[in-house]
Structure 1
Amino acid sequence: MNFRFLSAGESHGPQLTAVVDGLPAGIPLTVDDVDPWLEKRQGGYGRGRRMAIERDRVRFLSGVRAGRTTGAPLTLVIENRDWKNWQEIMDPAPGSEPRKRALTAPRPGHADLSGGIKYGHKDLRDVLERASARETAMRVAVGAVAHKLLAELGVESAGYVPALGGVVSHVPFTWELRERIEASPVRMTDPEAEVEAIRRIDAAKAAGDTLGGILEARFRGLVPGLGSHVQYDRKLDGRIAQMVMSIPAVKGVEIGEAFAAAARPGSEVHDAIYRSEERGWYRATNRAGGLEGGMTNGEELVVRAALKPIATLMQPLPTVDVVTHEPADAARERSDVTAVPAASVILQALVAIVLADAYLEKFGGDTLEELKERVARYQERALEY
């Protein structure tokens, strides 16, 4: 990988941390490029009380000076404000047993039981603290940095919710609707669907239940040829799918009209190729979602993901205590009724990380100026091909 990062931190620990390596020098970058993404991730109708506690803001500890990246590793930190209420519980020093707030009743649909078996934990808090979707706050921050790089290369993105809780938006996405999406509490294009989605969220909350939905991210301005067909692990669709499936609660991913295309004949699936002197190579349709043969083809990249309902239920499902082996009700942690609107922001941010890596892989360059020059030359060559 060229754009690579590692993150660390627990849901109720003191902070989340990431170290990003491979950024060219000279990218304009301030906290104002990142904090709005963190705010969007915390928003959305149906979010729980944790979002009222946290006010996510990023700090740069290395890799940025005078508002520009230096080429050195970039260190980002997001403090957990709720840490002050958990210091004794999360203290890394040896303590008395049993631990306070120990969790021994694994929640169906979570990492609790599998993680406990894998790592030998009987207090499943040692699993859930890292498995928590709180971890995605830092990945969104990293995705915001990736977006800053992509914007310098002429790439735009959008993230929205085509369906939530069984309510489907009937207003097709257009780039002109981005302002409407950002203003929507459920990030939908369709005002009527929005009203019904909010009603269902309220009903689910009253019933102690949760809701899932469909997420979509779009990118335009991408050059053709990002990724590769020559090895399985270089195919861009595979790399995107891995990143998307790493989002907690995502159980499915598709590029373009993948699942609908499975029921159609090939004549109604593939995108005919055209060429003009003004536009170069283009397609009149985009059923492939901007990817063919593991590579971008120059059309819009369209990525969708299926987010299952959140597994922490206020009316818990049956489980078995890992200490007593007796039947129990699943543990209840603070939780959202739905995280679908927030997850669309996460999807948008994480796909950007893969694309930033793909640009650096193809074009290289130690400085932003070098990178932009190489991309511009390639675009000219692709137009003339």
Structure 2
Amino acid sequence: MNSSSTLEGTSWVFKLNINNQTDRDLTLTNSNLSWGYWYRDNEDDSAPVTVPARENVEALGVRAASGTWTGYECDATWKDETKGEGNLGTISLYIDVPFSGDNESSLDVNGLVSVEGWEDLPKSGHHFTRNITVIEVGNQLQVVDEDVQRVQSEFLEYLNVTAELNAVVQNWEVLKDVEAKNEFNILEYVPKSYMYPPKDTLLFRTDKHLIEKKLWQGIADPIYTSRYAKDTYVDEYFSVGLYFVNTNPRLTETIPAGVTKAYETTVEVTSAIKSTLTNFMSIRAALKVESKDPISGSAIASELESTYSVQNVLEESNSYFKREKQTIELERSENNRLFVQWLFSTAVCIYRKDKKGNVSLVSISEWGEEVIDQVYDY
């Protein structure tokens, strides 16, 4: 093995960060290097290590030999060595990134632990980082750790958030009490702290915008489909812009103290509310009405685009925001950190108020506007 100095610029590298959220040390009991060099914390000959209880460390790093023509291949096993019924089991890693041929990888878990964050390596590529969190799920006596119960409860709460937002968006009596803003600086609304699980948050709405009656023919109301029905039963149609911030917890990266991270990723973040509104028509559907009336759906689309300063009202709603590949570099820090990608999204909603005063959501279209990267110490 080569005992050369740090190679910050090497490009064929695999890193594994383990966030051990159990009360037991995960002891390194086995490690084998078939090809390449151990490269933990960006230092040659720095072998894999044990992961202490309640700590988050870079547990393993490996790089290809100089010139990268041999690739790298290794395996390692971490084990709870506690004797008796409470033993949590083992975690076994295998990595093979050859110079020629498909990549292979596996993470096998045996015992009473749950591992989140692992993804097998794609067939191609050579520079990878994996961040996994190890959680105790119970013991053979069916006693569940209090921290596990808390995490499970919080995750269920996270799953319910979009349903809560769905209810707010559909209920104008609740939504009208949300703070109204027409001008804002998006940077002022980046969350100041990060709590797990993150909550999709409705930041504010715009003022209510009445839609002129001459444009009603351009709205494909699923209940009142004809001009006669609209004139007879509808008191008004109006629109409101909504602004959300959210993140996908699976994309949150843990960065141990003293580690330099570089990301080169294409970001996809799930939207806040689109997936829970499948029973409603998108604005695209609501506005693309073929009519002999000279006032067509395109007229109302143009008005909404002008009102909310957007140019994609007629585009189909997406359930995610895609950002083109870019490189993000984070310098070393003395603190453990979290790297979070916050998605700011916009939704335009059309509501109907009938002659009896009942207000209902007719259609909605939401799309991602911008992803802002934020780093938090913890």
Q: Normalising to structure 1: TM-score of the pair?
A: 0.20
Query: Which structure would you say has the larger Rg?
Result: 2
Which structure has the highest helix share of the two? 1
Q: Normalising to structure 2: TM-score of the pair?
A: 0.21
Which structure has the highest strand share of the two? 2
Q: Answer 1 or 2: higher relative contact order, Cα 8 Å, separation at least 6.
A: 1
